[in-house]
Amino acid sequence: MSDPITKIVKTISSIHTKGHSSLNSFATATANPKLFPRIAVGVTLASCLIGYGVMEMVETKREKNMLVYEENHAKRKDMSENEAVIRAMVENAKSSTMMENLENAAMAQKNFVMVPFDESVTEERKDQEFMQKIVQRSEEIKKKGRP
């Protein structure tokens, strides 16, 4: 009996047996028609309270992260290259017609998604004109700075 492995196995076995008996008593209590409504309400309230508590913790952490992000974002005066390009593309999409937007989307799909960097599928003149327009506008936006 002095073997440590035997002690561990007996301890785990006794915990499992105790847990199993309480599980049986819970199952028996839920099967009782007089106790079922009380147990159902108790389980529902407990899960709601736990869910609310977890939601509050997540929300608090999210708010702290947003404050840190906003502070860092406000400190940054210059605009990144990607941000300027995205702003130029959004501006272009807002000022273009529906047909032009569909053509631009098809060009982007063809050049960047379907066959990345495959020059055999590009209409080089149109694609280059569009990209030059976007790059030129993004440089203007970057010089102008953050709104």
pLDDT higher than 70, residue 2: no
- pTM, full prediction: 0.39
Residues 43-72: pLDDT tens digits?
Answer: 899 999 999 999 999 999 999 988 888 777
* Per-residue confidence band for 89, with pLDDT thresholds at 50, 70 and 90: confident
Helix (H, G, I), strand (E, B) or coil at 145: coil
* pLDDT score recorded for residue 131: 76
* pLDDT score recorded for residue 50: 95
Q: Write out the DSSP string of 60-93.
A: HHHHHHHHHHHHHHHH--SPPHHHHHHHHHHHHH
Residues 12-49: pLDDT tens digits?
Answer: 666 555 555 555 677 777 788 888 888 889 889 999 99
* Per-residue confidence band for 79, with pLDDT thresholds at 50, 70 and 90: confident
Q: Domain residue spans in the chain?
A: 4-75, 81-144
- Is residue 121 within 8 A of residue 115, CB to CB? The reply is yes
Token pair for 90: 């959004």
Tokens 């960047």 locate to 112
Token pair for 2: 């002095």
**Residue type at position 66:** M
Tokens 């992260």 locate to 65
